Amino acid sequence: MIRLRSSEKNSPIHSVSRWFLMGFLCFSLIFFIALLPLVSYCRGVFTELEINKSTQQMDFGINQLDNTVSTIINASQSIYDDHRFYSLHYTNADYSEISVAVRNQMRDYLGSMVRPSDLIIDCALQLSADDAVTPTITTFGGRMGYYPFYFQVDDLIFAEWNSILQNNPSGFLPLHHITTPYNHYDGLIYSIEWAKNKYFYACLDITAIRDVLIAEDDQASYRLTIKNSGGTCLYTDLTDDLSDYHSVTQKNGSGYLSITVHIPNSALTERMKPLYSFLCIYLALCVLVLIITILIGTHLSTRPLARIINTLENTKLPQSDGAPGKPPLNPKHSLGYGFNYIHDKIRSYENNLQQYQTTIDTQMKVLQARFIEKALHGSLSSDSDYEEFHAYFPDFPDNYRLILMGLSEKPTEHGNIYPNPMASIQYYLQSMIPHAYMQQLTTYTLLLIVAEHEEKEYSHTINHLIENINNEEPCYHAWGIIGNLHSSLKELPYAYLQMQDIRSKISTDTLSRLCAVSDFKIARKTGFQMSDTMLIYSAITGGNEDAALPRLQTYTDALNKRNRAVFEMFRSILLCIKQDYADLLLDIEIPFYQPQGDLFSALESCIINFCQRFQSENDDHSESFAEQVKAYIDIHFVDAQLCSATLEEQFQCSFSKIRKTFSKDIGVPISSYIEQKRMVLANELLLEGEYSVSEIALRCGFTNYNSFFKVYQRTYGHAPTLIKGKKNSTLEH
């Protein structure tokens, strides 16, 4: 047997196979190493091809940009030279005397000069805050001024926007977010001072600019930077390190723009994927050949491994002490049983860990609910409180909205079918909007905090839920209020108080009537939801024209097509509001359906009258409210407990509202006013010299000497000890 094995080992067939495999392996490795320079060369070729392609696309895009700017400049000059519009050149011109025909000519002329351009979305000839011309709207001296009624630039008021135009009378402005009744987009604005303090400008959609400068296949990965001739960055979407990109820069024909396209290295890697795949397959083949060579060279067999496993399964431990006559240990002490025992233990530990995780998740939900409740009621005051809040809510959105949902009972002969329907609604919303934070306030009300980027998803889900409940549930009406957009956690108490204020203004009778409006067959025909009626009602009664009119704007096309159902729907809502506030709105006429009239304008005018009436009531109340706050501070400014929470509890509103109203009507920030009152008293007590500085700090409303010292030194420029007792010493002398 020994000689036979020796002869098998040294057989010519095995030797030739082994040497052949070893030679093949060496050749494969050498060939693989030789391919590495080829990879580097191919990468350089692909890089050059990408740069050439991007350069050609940039040439095309820059040419379109130049043509667009030339169109804007020519349009401005043509309008200025047209004798029909000379009356618009002068600052003191009475624009209201200009005929409607001339206004329409101006609007049509402006549209024909600029609209054909692919890059221009909106344009305007702005004469003043209330006088402007666009391709779709002309307004002169009306209450609905062009800015911000027609469009809004980054929520700027007209004075801020006009200041930007004066500082940049000609050329591109940095990127702004533009909102119009028809569009919402980010765009570059090209402005020209058409006449003195009169500007002509056009809005270019940045998405369209990207489309002409970057090829369609590269939109997702390429980045773009646009700068003006002074080096100011007008737009960039580059967020990563510049070293991760190849940059291609060109200037337009006039040199007023510098455009840079950043080509990511990952795009080059995509082009190299076929070559990389080939190298990986080739390397895997080499490794496989190496393994086969090792197995054949060492004559490795799987039978010894099988014997080892069989031995572990069947071998028993020896007797405990080796004494004769004693039985061996139980077979369960074999090594095979030990493996099974360890496996069972691991499974047991996994089950325990899963139970612990479930318990932790439950406790985390309870803690989150408590922290949400604290945040809603303004109990988070210090930075440590906010840090702890973010620890429990690591994914709390930067921009969020509050949604208040609720059910109102409909008395039926069968009674309420579901004793706790809000639990089912909450379970449904958690499955549809998993990232939303929910807080059940009462048996029939639920509060949701939803991120801005999920707006489309939650709007569709909530409207669908309300529609199904109102159509199919015999015992309940569903309603919902969508709040404003907020960007700070500290605004959460104010946002919650705002929602409560809106809900408190809607009585049970009014809610029933609004639900009836929502359930009416017109509502089903036109697609109205309960959230529409609640939002319109709360916006108008709050004097918020900017929130009420966009909801009406949604149905403009239907109104223009003489859709009586839409008109009657809005008229029903306005009648509900007028019935609730009959003393305030008795003299406002709600229009009837007139097929020959402008339905949208009639409803729009009525809503504006409603909002202005409520806004004037709120303004009158705010003046007396500020005086009440001032009188309360004059009495309690020496109280160390005087803070934002105290004022909120005293006046039953958010501190943000108190602060804004006080600053607007009194003319000084509320914190500065409290400090002034305390510092005047502190100075008097220091001059008298009857108390120590620490006692004076406590008597003036400070909790400790350090905070008093900082405020005093900031106010008077020296330490309080410098003047202590000077009044008495002066009298003695």
The string of pLDDT tens digits covering residues 432-464 is: 888 888 888 887 888 888 888 887 777 778 878
Select from 542, 228, 519, 50 the least CA-distant residue to 532.
519
pLDDT at residue 529, as a whole number:
64
Distance separating alpha carbons of residues 478 and 408, to the nearest angstrom: 6
Largest CA distance in the chain: 130
The answer to whether the Cα torsion of 271, 273, 278, 280 is positive or negative is positive
Residue 385, CA atoms < 13 Å, CB-side half-sphere: 12
pLDDT over 50 at 682, yes or no: yes
Beta strands in 78-197 (DSSP E): 120-126, 132-133, 138-139, 152-153, 171-179, 184-195
Chain-centre distance for alpha carbon 602: 35
Specify the 3-state DSSP secondary structure of 441. strand
Predicted TM-score (pTM) of the model is 0.37
| Coil, helix or strand at residue 152 | strand
Structure tokens at 90: 């002068």
Q: Which residues pair with 409 in a beta bridge?
A: 476
- Measure Cα distances from 358 to 306, 351, 354, 392, 447 in Å: 42, 11, 6, 16, 25
* DSSP letter assigned to residue 246: E
CA-wise closest residue to 393 among 377, 360, 371: 371
Query: Poorest-confidence range of 1-15, 30-44, 53-67, 372-386?
Result: 1-15
Highest mean pLDDT among 112-116, 340-344, 564-568: 564-568
Between residues 369 and 40, the one the model is more confident about: 369
pLDDT at 29 over 80: no
Residue 325's pLDDT is 47
Distance in angstroms (rounded) separating the CA atoms of residues 731 and 9: 122
Residue 320 scores a pLDDT above 60: no
Choice among 158-167, 408-417, 543-552 with the minimum mean pLDDT: 408-417
Residue 340 has pLDDT above 80, yes or no: no
Q: How is residue 397 written in tokens?
A: 């959105």
Are the beta carbons of 135 and 180 closer than 8 angstroms? no
- Model confidence at 430, in pLDDT bands (50, 70, 90)? confident
Cβ–Cβ under 8 Å, residues 732 and 726: no
Tokens 């290295």 sit at which residue? 265
Q: Which long-range contacts (CB under 8 A, 24 or more apart) does 373-381 make?
A: 373/439, 375/489, 375/492, 375/493, 376/439, 376/447, 376/492, 376/493, 376/496, 377/493, 377/496, 378/493, 378/644, 378/645, 378/648, 378/654, 378/655, 379/645, 380/489, 381/643, 381/644, 381/645
**Joined tokens for residue 228:** 């003006």
| Secondary structure of residue 573 in the 3-state scheme | helix
> Distance between CA atoms of 116 and 113, rounded to whole angstroms?
7
Residue 557 is predicted with a pLDDT of 74
CB within 8 Å of 406: residues ≥ 6 apart? 444, 445, 446, 478, 479, 480, 503
User: Sign of the CA dihedral 715, 719, 722, 725?
Assistant: positive
Mean pLDDT of 89-115: 76
- Which among 444, 458, 566, 569 has a CA at the least distance from the CA of 518? 569
DSSP-based three-state secondary structure for 436: coil
Task: Note whether 61 and 212 are within 8 A (CB).
Answer: yes
Q: Give the per-residue pLDDT at 10.
A: 46
d(CA 682, CA 701): 10
Q: Rounded to whole angstroms, how far apart are CA atoms 653 and 664?
A: 17
pLDDT exceeds cutoff 50 at 5: no
Which spans in 408-454 are helix H?
A: 421-432
- SS (HEC) of 448-506: EEEEHHHHHHHHHHHHHHHHHHHHHCCCEEEEEEEEEEECCHHHHHHHHHHHHHHHHCC
Joined tokens for residue 316 = 């028993």
How many CB atoms within 10 Å of residue 309?
Answer: 11
Q: Residues near 21 by Cβ (< 8 Å), separated by ≥ 6? A: 289, 292, 293, 296
Alpha carbon dihedral 533, 535, 539, 541, in 10-degree steps, equals: 50
Of residues 608, 595, 611, the one with CA closest to residue 559 = 595
- pLDDT confidence of residue 540: 84
Lowest mean pLDDT of 9-23, 119-133, 311-325, 502-516, name the range. 311-325
**Is the pLDDT reported for residue 702 higher than 80?**
yes
pLDDT tens for 483-494 read 777 877 878 887
DSSP conformational letter for 155 = T
Structural domains of the chain in order of their starting residue, each with its CATH number: 34-222+265-293 (3.30.450.20), 368-620 (no CATH), 637-732 (1.10.10.60)
For 141-145, 528-532, 537-541, which range has the lowest pLDDT when averaged over its residues?
141-145
Residue 593 token pair = 């359906």
Provide mean pLDDT across the span 390-411: 82
- How remote is the C-alpha of 588 from its chain's centroid? 39
* 272 or 545, greater pLDDT: 545
Cβ neighbors of 26 (< 8 A, separation 6 or more) are: none
- Please give the Cα distance from 145 to 604 (Å, whole number): 15
Distances (CA, A) of 284 to 36, 279, 562: 16, 8, 72
Which pLDDT does position 225 carry in this prediction?
92
The answer to whether 124 and 116 are in contact (CB under 8 A) is no
Could you give the CA distance from residue 144 to residue 150 in angstroms, rounded to a whole number?
9
Report for 48-52, 79-83, 111-115, 201-205: range of highest mean pLDDT: 201-205
Q: What percent of the chain has pLDDT over 90?
A: 1
More confident residue, 175 or 229: 175
Can you tell me the distance from the alpha carbon of 410 to that of 201, in angstroms, rounded to the nearest whole number?
A: 55
Q: To the nearest whole number, what is the mean pLDDT of the chain?
A: 76
| Tally of CA atoms within 13 A in the half-sphere of 453 that contains its CB | 4
User: Dihedrals φ, ψ of 199, to 5°?
Assistant: -125, 140
Does residue 530 contact residue 592 with C-beta atoms inside 8 Å? Answer: no
- The strands making up 257-264's β-sheet, listed across from edge to edge, are 233-236, 223-228, 257-264, 245-251
Per-residue exposure over 316-349, b if at least 16 CB sit within 10 Å of its own CB, e if not: eeeeeeeeeeeeeeeeeebebeeeeeeeeeeeee
Residue 471 has pLDDT above 80, yes or no: no
**Which range has the worst mean pLDDT, 303-312, 566-575, 611-620?**
303-312
In this predicted structure, the answer to whether residue 83 has a pLDDT above a threshold of 70 is yes
Name the 3-class secondary structure at 656.
helix
Count, residues in the chain: 733
Per-residue pLDDT band for 3 (boundaries 50, 70, 90) equals: very low
Residue with more model confidence, 369 or 605: 605
CA distances 31 to 44, 275, 285, Å, are: 21, 14, 13
Least-confidence region, from 486-490, 614-618, 706-710: 614-618
* Confidence band, pLDDT 50/70/90 cuts, at residue 88: confident
